[in-house]
């Protein structure tokens, strides 16, 4: 009996050891230690195959199987239990995301002026659809859609607004496109455009699925008239539409929300470990872009500067802000499409628990739909389907996203909203107010979980060295300065200074401390300053700032910022 018990114990110990070993090896991905602003994943690659994705990938695999795998991931639980969740892999030494085929630092790092924000991804003027030719059509659904070629032969995907909700979906898509573009993501060129149905021509071999028989047949003028009968019209009979310009390159299907693309040698980082993708959850919560399943993304095989590679796009933002084909349902952003927690609560409360899908949305106006701050909880915000990519979000990733969001000022948002060309000036005002309030709610939520310190700089001062920073919560009126303190500690090789607490956002390190910190290190060993932020009953994890002198001792440089 005792021997059997020993054997069982040995087996359990062996399993744990192997699991931990595999876990540790699996995640020991070497990260670049220098400040790298371009992660060059744009090498020439052979043409990848088109990747298919559907409900199987985002529901069965994405939600059920991957969710179950994650629940059984022992190394992950160990990391979480010890307070060390796996941090994003594509972060440079300054805790920022470098440019890549996935992401380009824009407004957050390289300030965009009003014109650039209003232009967004667009490279030209809105298309002229006089004499446009329909090349494909979708008649089913609440609102129809079609592909048309304009007079120059450029292809556009056309989305109409619902008859009862003019400007709702097109307005939301334009605003979200421009916000996501300015935030750094690759998005298509989406224009507000106008189509006169009288000037639309049906191209050759355009077929639709007959709603009665379910069989394919040619699109007729009657079909077109019936289609357009359901869409919003202007008084002069024209339709205001969202025209999405076809992306350059060859479409290669959506990118997976977990793992990488095996036939793309540039794709080295598991997508769930990419900070810009994890943090998309935070930015999406701000604009309530709840439809973020895999098929709302697209890899394009593009040719740039003589190289062919995949560029990764986000698509289709018509289900954002308060919009969908109709005003968005209340539960969007609050519950998953199939929410196990809500279902469980419903079952065990005998139906007394009122889940979000039971509640009715508050419709502000036909143009705005259901875009409000009602019960908005950024930490609990959910896209339609759970995703390992979003679940991998750490507080540090969210802090990065909050920095991106905070780069949008009221004027920036106002400029972007204007491009939606709403008919009612009150809509502009409401959108601005709501986006601004949600910006405050989102950033307050996530900044409260971290040090919230940014824009570190270091310079020589009379007494030694001055390390300054900005406290984003204080700066953006999200926390009271009177209740905020900072504790810091200077570290060097074999040296730790006493911890000091200050109220200001400038740390002065005197010569004596600097001397002690650098005494036992080599000339280029950086000095480490750990800073804790205190607000009322909260103390953050430390942010570690590393700086050193240039070789001629003339210049002080921040080498690394570490929140891991």
State in angstroms the smallest separation of the CB of 38 from other proteins.
Answer: 7
Residue 91 near other proteins by CB under 8 A? yes
In the set 63, 87, 90, 319, which binds other proteins (CB under 8 A)?
90
The pair of three-digit structure tokens given for residue 296, joined into one six-digit string: 């709302």
Report how far residue 562's alpha carbon sits from residue 157's, in angstroms, rounded to the nearest whole number. Answer: 44
In the set 197, 251, 259, 521, which binds other proteins (CB under 8 A)?
259
Place of tokens 């740039």: 304
State in angstroms the smallest separation of the CB of 39 from other proteins.
Answer: 4
In the set 83, 153, 214, 235, which binds other proteins (CB under 8 A)?
214
- Tell me how many residues contact other proteins (CB under 8 A): 67
In the set 1, 2, 5, 30, which binds other proteins (CB under 8 A)?
30
Our CB check for other proteins shows the closer of 269 and 420 to be: 269
Report how far residue 199's alpha carbon sits from residue 255's, in angstroms, rounded to the nearest whole number. Answer: 37
Residue 38 near other proteins by CB under 8 A? yes
Residue 61 near other proteins by CB under 8 A? yes
First to last CA, the chain: 46
Residue of 39, 112, 32, 66 lying closest to 408 (CA atoms): 112
Our CB check for other proteins shows the closer of 100 and 320 to be: 100
Assign residue 438 a region (left: φ > 0; alpha: ψ between -120 and 50; beta: otherwise).
alpha
Residue 16 near other proteins by CB under 8 A? no
Report how far residue 44's alpha carbon sits from residue 63's, in angstroms, rounded to the nearest whole number. Answer: 34
Our CB check for other proteins shows the closer of 74 and 114 to be: 74
Any bridge partners for residue 458, and if so which? 467
In the set 83, 141, 235, 306, which binds other proteins (CB under 8 A)?
306
Residue 105 near other proteins by CB under 8 A? no
Got the DSSP string for 384-398?
SS--HHHHT--HHHH
H or E element that contains 174: helix 168-183
Got the DSSP string for 468-505?
EEEEHHHHTTSS-GGGEEEEEEEEETTEEPPPEEESSS
State in angstroms the smallest separation of the CB of 63 from other proteins.
Answer: 12
The pair of three-digit structure tokens given for residue 357, joined into one six-digit string: 């899908």
Our CB check for other proteins shows the closer of 27 and 194 to be: 27
Greatest Cα pair distance in the chain: 90
State in angstroms the smallest separation of the CB of 334 from other proteins.
Answer: 14
Length, in residues, of the chain: 564
State in angstroms the smallest separation of the CB of 1 from other proteins.
Answer: 15
Part in contact with other proteins (CB under 8 A); list of ranges 55-63, 379-387, 394-402, 554-562: 55-63
Residue 96 near other proteins by CB under 8 A? no
Part in contact with other proteins (CB under 8 A); list of ranges 154-162, 289-297, 301-309, 402-410: 301-309
Residue 41 near other proteins by CB under 8 A? yes
CB-neighbour burial class of residue 369 (10 A; exposed 0-12, middle 13-18, buried 19+): buried
Task: Please list every residue from 333 through 392 that binds other proteins, using CB under 8 A.
Answer: 338-339, 342-343, 346-347, 350-351, 355, 357-358
Residue 263 near other proteins by CB under 8 A? yes
Residue 160 near other proteins by CB under 8 A? no
Query: How far lies 93's CA from each of 38, 186, 547, in Å?
Result: 12, 24, 12
Our CB check for other proteins shows the closer of 7 and 555 to be: 7
In the set 197, 253, 265, 464, which binds other proteins (CB under 8 A)?
265
Sheet of 506-510, strand order = 453-461, 464-471, 506-510
CB-neighbour burial class of residue 329 (10 A; exposed 0-12, middle 13-18, buried 19+): middle
Residue 213 near other proteins by CB under 8 A? yes
Report how far residue 7's alpha carbon sits from residue 453's, in angstroms, rounded to the nearest whole number. Answer: 52
The pair of three-digit structure tokens given for residue 550, joined into one six-digit string: 């240039």
Place of tokens 């024209």: 238
Interface residues toward other proteins, by CB under 8 A: 7, 10-11, 14, 17-18, 21-23, 25-32, 36, 38-41, 43-46, 54-56, 60-61, 65, 68-69, 72, 89-92, 98, 100, 212-214, 259-260, 262-263, 265-266, 268-270, 305-307, 338-339, 342-343, 346-347, 350-351, 355, 357-358
């Amino acid at each position: 009996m005792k021997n059997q018990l020993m054997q069982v114990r040995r087996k359990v110990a062996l399993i744990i050891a192997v699991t931990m070993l595999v876990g540790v090896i699996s995640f020991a991905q070497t990260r670049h230690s220098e400040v790298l602003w371009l992660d060059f994943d744009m090498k020439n690659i052979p043409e990848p195959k088109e990747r298919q994705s559907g409900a199987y990938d985002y529901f069965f695999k994405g939600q059920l199987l991957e969710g179950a795998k994650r629940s059984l991931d022992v190394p992950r639980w160990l990391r979480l239990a010890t307070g060390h969740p796996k941090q994003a892999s594509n972060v440079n030494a300054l805790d920022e995301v470098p440019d890549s085929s996935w992401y380009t630092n824009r407004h957050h790092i390289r300030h965009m002026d009003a014109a650039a924000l209003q232009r967004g991804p667009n490279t030209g003027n809105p298309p002229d659809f006089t004499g446009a030719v329909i090349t494909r059509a979708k008649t089913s659904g609440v609102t129809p859609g079609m592909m048309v070629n304009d007079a120059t032969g450029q292809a556009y995907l056309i989305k109409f607004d619902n008859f009862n909700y003019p400007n709702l979906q097109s307005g939301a898509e334009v605003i979200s496109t421009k916000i996501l573009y300015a935030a750094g993501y690759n998005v298509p060129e989406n224009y507000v455009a106008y189509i006169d149905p009288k000037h639309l021509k049906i191209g050759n071999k355009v077929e639709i699925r007959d709603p009665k028989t379910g069989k394919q047949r040619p699109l007729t003028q009657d079909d077109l008239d019936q289609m357009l009968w359901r869409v919003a019209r202007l008084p002069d009979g024209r339709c205001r539409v969202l025209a999405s310009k076809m992306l350059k390159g060859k479409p290669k299907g959506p990118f997976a929300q977990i793992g990488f693309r095996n036939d793309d040698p540039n794709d080295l980082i598991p997508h769930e470990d990419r900070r810009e993708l994890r943090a998309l959850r935070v930015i999406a919560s701000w604009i309530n872009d709840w439809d973020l399943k895999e098929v709302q993304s697209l890899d394009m095989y593009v040719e740039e500067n003589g190289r062919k590679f995949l560029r990764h796009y986000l698509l289709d933002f018509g289900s954002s802000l308060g919009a969908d084909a109709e005003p968005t349902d209340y539960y969007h952003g609050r519950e998953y499409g199939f929410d196990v927690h809500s279902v469980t609560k419903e079952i065990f409360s005998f139906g007394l628990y009122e889940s979000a899908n039971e509640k009715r949305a508050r419709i502000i106006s036909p143009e705005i739909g259901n875009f409000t701050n009602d019960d908005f909880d950024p930490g609990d915000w959910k896209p339609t389907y759970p995703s390992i990519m979003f679940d991998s979000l750490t507080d540090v990733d969210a802090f990065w996203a909050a920095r991106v969001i905070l780069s949008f000022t009221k004027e920036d948002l106002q400029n972007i909203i204007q491009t939606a060309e709403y008919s009612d000036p009150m809509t502009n005002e409401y959108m601005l107010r709501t986006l601004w309030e949600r910006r405050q709610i989102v950033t307050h939520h996530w900044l409260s979980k971290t040090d919230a310190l940014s824009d570190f700089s270091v310079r020589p001062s009379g007494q030694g060295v001055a390390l300054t920073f900005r406290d984003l919560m204080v700066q953006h009126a999200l926390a009271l300065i009177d209740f905020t303190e900072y504790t810091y500690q200077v570290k060097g090789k074999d040296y730790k200074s006493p911890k000091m607490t200050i109220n200001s956002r400038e740390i002065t390190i005197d010569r004596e401390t600097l001397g002690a910190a650098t005494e036992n290190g080599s000339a280029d060993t950086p000095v480490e300053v750990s800073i804790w932020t205190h607000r009322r009953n909260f103390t953050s994890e430390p942010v570690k700032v590393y700086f050193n002198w240039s070789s001629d001792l003339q210049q002080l440089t921040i080498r690394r910022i570490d929140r891991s």
